[in-house]
Amino acid sequence: MTDAPEADLPELDDTPIARAAETALRVLAGRVGDPLPRPPHTRVLTVANQKGGVGKTTTTVNLAAALALQGAEVLVIDLDPQGNASTALGVEHHAEVPSIYDVLIEGQPLHEVVVAVEGIAGLWCAPATIDLAGAEIELVSLVARESRLAKALAAYSTWAEEHRDGRLDYVLVDCPPSLGLLTVNALVAAPEVLIPIQCEYYALEGVGQLLRNVELVKAHLNPHLHVSTVLLTMYDARTRLAAQVADEVRTHFVDTVLRTTVPRSVRISEAPSYGQTVMTYDPGSTGALSYLEAAREMALRGASTEASTVPSVPPAPSATPPSPPSAPSARAPAAPMSTASAATAVSAVSATAVSAANAMPAGSARGVEAMAAEASGTPAAGPSSAGGSAVVPEGSLEEDSHE
Ligand SMILES: Nc1ncnc2c1ncn2[C@@H]1O[C@H](COP(=O)(O)OP(=O)(O)OP(=O)(O)O)[C@@H](O)[C@H]1O
Ligand SMILES: [Mg+2]
């Protein structure tokens, strides 16, 4: 990273284009605004939404890059067999590369698979290879199958204290579009959940089910888990629909939603094909600027207090037919998210969507419930619990029983 003095930057007029150009120069010079305040401890955020294509990966890699460019030490964990985050960060992830699969399944130390991301100081990545596609099945027979990422991260922290130049500030985990064991591992490893929501008609499809699973994991496996951040993505300011969806989301998720929205931007979607984030691909673009701003906002507000952001379990999804997203009767009063309001919120807003249960991969909701029930010693009904190995209670992470 260049360390040119401030005076090297040319003076520019105070116009939007000039400001964008100036930001671009600063990004390229490795110097974007004031450094962010360091969080008091490493913040681990799981970026989850089982709906596909809502911007999980794009948000993970660009937020991570934006945080790193503003002085933070950031690790991206690619937990999606598609390996999109690895691609976007220009990190090798062909079959022979040591990857997060080896960490989860073989128990390889995380620090042995983490690599530096080229071109952005302070940004690191644990890549995913195609092997990870089999991990959902392989994990089932392993001891403490839900806590393996948490265990690896804890060991990484200990290793980092001795071998790294300081601890990490952020860990962002990019989840696959499902609620299987990989996502459960991420939820167990992180206190914070970041939900990207696409500003489209079916925006909240499945969010109710995600919140139910967050609540289950919180109850049985990770008491610190909470939804700390919601980010509106692919916002198209020209459409009323985007504004309506954003309004709806803000009404119900209140302070959890970042003020910054990420616009729909061609530059954002082009960047991965160059193995780059938009932060380096086109640092002056609106997409890059919005992720810089979102990162700053996220860092400044810090982890929200658990009390105000705990997600709630909405009622079981009904077969309510879709209705317009802005139906006034669907709105709960704007107040901090409580169990009741969240339930109303999600069920009301998800009335715009098909049933969350229908949107789930077959059996995955029951799977999480069964896992949680097993973990707490409660017998769980249904095929996913049948024949499932007993889960070792938290804290007793012994050797693998992997065959
Ligand atoms: N703000 C944006 N503007 C334009 N295109 C975007 C934006 N955000 C994401 N995209 C594009 O939308 C597509 C889906 O985004 P992304 O891969 O981040 O979603 P995802 O939730 O990670 O998907 P999956 O569920 O498959 O993992 C990608 O082609 C991406 O480039
Ligand atoms: Mg993705």
**Over 170-235, what HEC string results?**
EEEEECCCCCCHHHHHHHHHCCEEEEEEECCCCCCCCHHHHHHHHHHHHHHCCCCCEEEEEEEECE
Greater confidence (320 vs 80) lies with: 80
**Among residues of the chain, what percentage have pLDDT more than 90?**
56
- For the chain, what percent of residues have pLDDT higher than 70? 67
Q: How confident is the model at residue 138 (pLDDT cuts 50, 70, 90)?
A: very high
Q: Pairing mode, if any, of strands 123-126 and 115-116?
A: antiparallel
Asked if the structure places residue 1 within a domain, the reply is no
Minimum-distance ligand 1 atom for the alpha carbon of 176 = 27
> Atom 10 in ligand 1: which residue has the minimum CA distance?
269
Q: Do residues 245 and 207 make contact, with C-beta atoms less than 8 angstroms apart? A: no
Ligand number nearest to the C-alpha of 235: 1
Nearest CA to 75 out of 34, 39, 43 is that of 43
Distance of alpha carbon 184 from alpha carbon 178, whole angstroms: 10
The answer to whether residue 54 is domain-embedded is yes
Q: Confidence class of residue 336 from pLDDT cuts 50, 70 and 90?
A: very low
Q: Which residue's alpha carbon is nearest to atom 5 within ligand 1? A: 269
Q: What DSSP letter does each residue of 259-281 carry, written as one string?
A: S--PBP-HHHHHGGGGT--HHHH
The confidence score (pLDDT) of residue 340 equals: 32
Please tell me the predicted confidence (pLDDT) of residue 206. Answer: 76
Q: Using the atom order of ligand 1, give the atom closest to the CA of residue 58.
A: 18
Q: Please, which pLDDT band fits residue 152 given cuts at 50, 70 and 90? A: very high
**Ligand 1 centre distance from Cα of residue 195 (Å):** 13
**pLDDT tens per residue across span 120-135:** 999 999 999 999 999 9
The residue whose CA is least distant from atom 16 of ligand 1 is 55
pLDDT at 292 over 60: yes
Residues 6+ apart with CB under 8 A from 236: 199, 242, 263, 264
| Distance from C-alpha of 39 to C-alpha of 297, rounded to nearest angstrom | 13
pLDDT of res. 209: 87
pLDDT digits (tens, 9 = 90+) for 354-401: 233 323 333 333 344 555 455 555 443 333 333 222 222 222 222 223
Alpha-carbon gap, residue 261 to 243, rounded angstroms: 11
Closest ligand 1 atom to Cα of 265: 3
Q: Is residue 73 part of a domain?
A: yes
Is the pTM of the predicted complex or chain greater than 0.85? no
What phi, psi does 71 have (nearest 5°)? 100, 0
Provide the pLDDT for residue 200.
86
Residue 339 is predicted with a pLDDT of: 30
Is residue 403 one of the residues assigned to a domain?
no
Q: Does residue 324 register a pLDDT over 80?
A: no
Ligand 1, residues at Cβ distance < 6 Å:
52-58, 80, 82, 84, 177, 233-234, 262, 264-265, 268-269, 287
**Long-range contacts, stretch 314-319, CB < 8 angstroms, 24+ apart:** 314/208, 314/211, 314/212, 314/342, 314/343, 314/344, 314/345, 314/346, 314/347, 314/350, 315/343, 315/347, 316/357, 317/208, 317/209, 317/347, 317/350, 317/355, 317/356, 317/357, 317/358, 318/347, 318/355, 319/355
Residue found under tokens 């109303």: 344
Q: Domain span at residue 171?
A: 10-375
Ligand 1 pocket test, candidate residues 57, 174, 274, most atoms within 8 A of CB: 57
Domain count, the chain: 1
Higher pLDDT pick, 379 / 211:
211
Average pLDDT for 210-217: 93
Phi, psi of 68 (to 5 degrees): -65, -40
- pLDDT band, residue 318 (cuts 50/70/90): very low
Arithmetic mean of pLDDT, 204-209: 83
Q: What is the pLDDT of residues 14-50, one digit of tens each?
A: 666 666 666 666 665 655 667 888 999 999 999 999 8
Beta-carbon contacts of 325 under 8 Å, excluding residues fewer than 6 positions away, are 201, 203, 241, 244, 245, 248, 349, 352
pLDDT category at 113 given cuts 50, 70, 90 is very high
Amino acid identity of residue 64, one-letter, is A
Ligand 2 centroid to Cα of residue 294, in Å, is: 19
381 C-alpha to center of ligand 1: Å?
Answer: 36
Mean pLDDT of 68-86: 96
Instruction: Give residues with Cβ within 8 angstroms of 112, minimum separation 6.
Output: 98, 102
Backbone angles phi, psi at 172, to 5 degrees: -115, 125
Task: Specify the ligand 1 atom closest to the Cα of 235.
Answer: 1
pLDDT of 287 above 90: yes
Which of 268-282, 291-305, 327-341 is modeled with the greatest confidence? 268-282
CA distances from 295 to 35, 190, 398 (A): 11, 18, 37
What pLDDT does residue 360 have? 33
Q: Which ligand is nearest to the CA of 290?
A: 1
Q: How many CB atoms lie within 10 A of CB 16?
A: 9
Considering every ligand atom, which ligand is closest to the CA of 58? 1
Q: Which atom of ligand 1 is nearest to the CA of 266?
A: 4
For position 290, which CATH number holds? Answer: 3.40.50.300
Residue range 225-281, pLDDT digits in tens: 999 999 999 999 899 999 999 998 998 899 999 999 999 999 999 999 999 999 999
Mutation choice for ligand 1 from 202, 262, 269, 292, CB with most ligand atoms inside 8 A: 269
Ligand 1 pocket test, candidate residues 51, 56, 58, most atoms within 8 A of CB: 58
In a domain, 339, yes or no: yes
| CA 215 to centroid of ligand 2, rounded, Å | 23
Residue 297 has pLDDT above 50, yes or no: yes
Measured in angstroms, how far is the CA atom of residue 122 from the centroid of ligand 2? Answer: 22
d(CA 275, CA 268): 12
Ligand nearest, relative to CA of residue 206: 1
Closest ligand 1 atom, residue 287 Cα: 1
The closest residue, in CA terms, to atom 20 on ligand 1 is: 53
Query: For residue 203, which of 325, 48, 326 has the smallest C-alpha distance?
Result: 325
Quick check: is 2 in a domain? no
Which ligand ends up closest to the CA of 51?
1
User: Distance, CA 187 to ligand 1 centroid (Å)?
Assistant: 21
93 with 86: CB under 8 angstroms? yes
DSSP 8-state class, residue 169: S
pLDDT band at residue 218 using 50, 70 and 90 as cut-offs = very high
86 alpha carbon, closest ligand: 2
Q: At what angle do helices 207-220 and 339-349 cross, to 10 degrees?
A: 150
Whole-number Å distance, alpha carbon 64 to ligand 2 midpoint, is 14
Q: Tell me if 95 is assigned to some domain.
A: yes
In a domain, residue 52? The reply is yes
Amino acid at 259: R
For residue 60, give the ligand 1 atom closest to its CA: 18
